[in-house]
Amino acid sequence: MKFDAIVERINSLPPLSNATVFVQQLYAEGAENVDIIKLVRIIELDALLTLNILKMINAPIYGFSRKIASISQAVTLFGTEIVYGLVMNYSIMEALKANTSSYGISSSEFNDVCHLQSALMFQWYSKVDLRHAQFLAPLALVMEAGKLILVREIETSDYVKEFKKGLKESSSIEEYEHSLLDTTSYYISGLLFEHWNLEPLYVDMLKGLDFKHDDGFKMEYYIDTLHIVRTAVNVKEILTDKSIEKACLLVEDMNLDSDYFRHIAHRIKETYEKS
């Protein structure tokens, strides 16, 4: 596996769906300036996109007790940025369909990891800073996309068994990825976002998640927050007691309430295990 081959694969990817491109254009001037009527209309013109968003947003892990029956209702309850993340998630997953078994996880479980990361980010961080939670939750939903590129390379190489064995024995997914490729799946996600002209700040955060740069306190704070969520929920540990406690230590390092984080994480875990 070579980094250049991964970059070449990314550069050969076609644009995202028309609906997604139109939604991106609405967000060009910032989420706060989005024309909600146009947003709802664009999504509802794509029946599969509409059904998928409603299916995702009605999942028990998002914590709503009553059914959300329309896109306009979803936008009202979750905000434009969360809906943007759901649109991106659907479009990216459709564009990058891949067998994730190399990471020891089924495609369905991989999708669950993405949604659990987003739900945890939103439900936990909303108490810390609602505005930032609305900005970070969509990124948490799609930040694992780089793994879908990596598994394509792995599955067509001679390293499948070696990769699975090494990943199982490693204590850190990112360190293991880096030992093979000199990069990580999160950096690859950043390259994907860059290729598709998605939110530039998301690109910078993904590229900096495992390769921190001196980009200021705000960027570092965002990155540390994402790291907490991926520590609690990842393809090796889906909200295990151990991963939640490791994440709680990171929460304490940020001088935030670890008891509240633990409460939210276990609540989401219980809901997920019952579903």
The 10s digit of each residue's pLDDT in 173-214 is 999 999 888 889 999 999 999 999 988 999 999 999 998 766
Q: Are 89 and 142 in contact (CB under 8 A)?
A: yes
Q: Is residue 252's pLDDT more than 70?
A: yes
Q: Is residue 237's pLDDT more than 90?
A: yes
Residue 5 pLDDT class (50, 70, 90 cuts): confident
Q: pLDDT value at position 12?
A: 93
Q: Map out the domains of the chain as residue ranges.
A: 3-274
Q: pLDDT value at position 215?
A: 66
Q: What 8-state DSSP symbol labels residue 14?
A: P
Full 3-state SS string of 152-206: HHHHCCCCHHHHHHHHHHCCCHHHHHHHHHCCCHHHHHHHHHHHCCCCHHHHHHH
Q: pLDDT value at position 216?
A: 62
Residue 24's H or E segment, with its range, is: helix 18-26
Top pLDDT among 31 and 178 is at: 178
Tell the CATH topology of 3-274. Answer: Hypothetical protein af1432 (1.10.3210)
Question: Whole-model pTM?
Answer: 0.91
Q: pLDDT value at position 142?
A: 95
The residue behind tokens 């989420």 is 31
**Strand-pair partners of 238:** 233
Cα distance between residue 163 and residue 141, in whole Å? 25
Give the burial class of 265: count Cβ atoms within 10 A of its Cβ; 0-12 exposed, 13-18 middle, 19 or more buried: buried
- Residue range 256-263: average pLDDT? 98
Q: pLDDT value at position 228?
A: 98
The 10s digit of each residue's pLDDT in 116-170 is 999 999 999 999 999 899 899 999 999 999 999 999 888 888 888 888 888 989 9
Q: Are 72 and 40 in contact (CB under 8 A)?
A: yes
The 10s digit of each residue's pLDDT in 43-97 is 999 999 999 999 888 888 877 778 899 999 999 888 888 899 999 999 999 999 8
Closest CA to 173 of 116, 93, 110: 110
The residue behind tokens 């495992």 is 210
- Residue range 223-228: average pLDDT? 96
